[in-house]
Amino acid sequence: MRPERNRNISLIGVPIDLGADRRGVDMGPDAIRSAGVLHKLEQLGYVVHDQGNLTVSRKALEQAATGEKLKYLAETITVNAKLAKMTADEMGRGRFPLALGGDHSMAIGTVKGVLHHIDRLGLLWFDAHCDANTAETTPSGNIHGMPLAVCLGYGHELLTGIGGRKRKIRPENVVIIGARSVDPGERSLLKELGIRVFTMHDIDRRGMERVMEEALERLAKSDGVHLSFDVDGMDPNDAPGVGTPVMGGVTYRESHLAMELLSDSGLLVSAEFVEINPVLDDRNKTAKAAVEMIGSVFGEQIM
């Protein structure tokens, strides 16, 4: 028997592309809406409260200095602080926060918001990348490569201070799935912290079912799980509309299975789907794939 679900969902669009190298991902929230996410969730019996999109200032794009180690820092902080508050407020109303992105820097805000309600929060990071860089290790200066580090308490103090510096994820409550592009500085930090990373090598050798069993066993020690689903964790053949594609990713069916198993666990308390870039997509294929994954994680079944 599947566990009882929170049937009230708050949909929060976060049209931010400041954390990424390429423009266009700011259109991701509306692409997911156009792909039918509201209809999908309502068909599954959920009451959806669409909060619209947060406002993101475009002035920052004109003010960035070449060679910055933390590009568009001020506006990224502003957006994530607003997102953290909205996420916390919606959870306070008894609603499940589902954020739509937008680049992955927005995970700082969603996670920090959820931490207002769940101190011992588990984090399932579905991604081709580990996003555990800091200003000292980043090869690009793009903050979408840093949110996991920030959520763990590492990085610029104005980023780690969003939502309260003491609110952070414990390393033992983090699992990364689908990694296949890891920077040297990230690798060192993740190994030092003992974070469990399931690379594509692990998935190839052991299969997604076994990987998810181990992941969920680890995450079950937390008081609830936040899903941070970067669509570039999927193979580019299945999800071409992303800014940083990496070949050899999680297949469409493997991704479905992972979401179905997470759904069955009853651990999920919040989620975000990020990095959909319609400019790079093929007839909204990637947004449609994201909606299908959302269906699976919210309990959709074939029979």
Residue-by-residue DSSP string for the chain: -PPP---EEEEEEE---TTSSSTTGGGHHHHHHHTTHHHHHHHTT-EEEEEEE----STHHHHPPTT-SSTTHHHHHHHHHHHHHHHHHHHHTT-EEEEEES-GGGHHHHHHHHTTT-SS-EEEEE-SB-----TTT-SS--GGGSHHHHHTT-S-HHHHTTT-TT----GGGEEEEEE-B--HHHHHHHHHHT-EEEEHHHHHHH-HHHHHHHHHHHHTTSS-EEEEEEGGGB-TTT----SS--SS-B-HHHHHHHHHHHHHHT-EEEEEEE---GGG-STTHHHHHHHHHHHHHTT----
* 232 marked as binding residue: yes
Tell me, yes or no, whether 3 lies in a domain. no
Mean pLDDT (whole number) for 194-211: 98
Q: Is residue 303 part of a domain?
A: no
In a domain, 302, yes or no: no
Would you say 223 is a known binding-site residue?
no
Domain encompassing residue 68: 8-297
Positions annotated as catalytic residues are 104, 127, 129, 131, 144, 230, 232, 275
Residue 116 in marked binding region: no
Residues 67, 142: contact at Cβ < 8 Å? no
pLDDT at 289 over 60: yes
Is 230 annotated as ligand-binding? yes
50 in a labelled binding site: no
Is residue 51 one of the residues assigned to a domain? yes
- pLDDT tens-place string over residues 121-169: 999 999 999 999 999 999 999 999 999 999 999 999 999 999 988 899 9
| pLDDT range class, residue 62, cuts 50, 70, 90 | low
Question: Does 2 map to a domain?
Answer: no
The answer to whether residues 100 and 28 touch, using CB atoms and an 8 Å cutoff, is yes
202 is in an annotated binding site: no
Check residue 55 and give its pLDDT.
Answer: 95
Contact 276, 288 (CB under 8 A): no
Say if pTM beats, i.e. exceeds, 0.95: yes
Decide if 86 is inside a domain. Answer: yes
Mean pLDDT, residues 175-191: 97
Domain presence at residue 26: yes
Given a cut of 60, whether residue 13 has pLDDT beyond it is: yes
pLDDT at 69: 82
| Both structure tokens of 173 | 């409550």
Q: Is the dihedral of CA 186, 111, 54, 246 positive or negative?
A: positive
Q: What is the pLDDT of residue 2?
A: 45
The verdict on residue 1 lying in a domain is no
In the chain, the number of structural domains is: 1
pLDDT (tens digit per residue) in 108-127: 999 999 999 999 999 999 99
3-state secondary structure 141-202: CCHHHCHHHHHCCCCCHHHHCCCCCCCCCCHHHEEEEEECECCHHHHHHHHHHCCEEEEHHH
- For residue 225, give the CATH number of its domain: 3.40.800.10
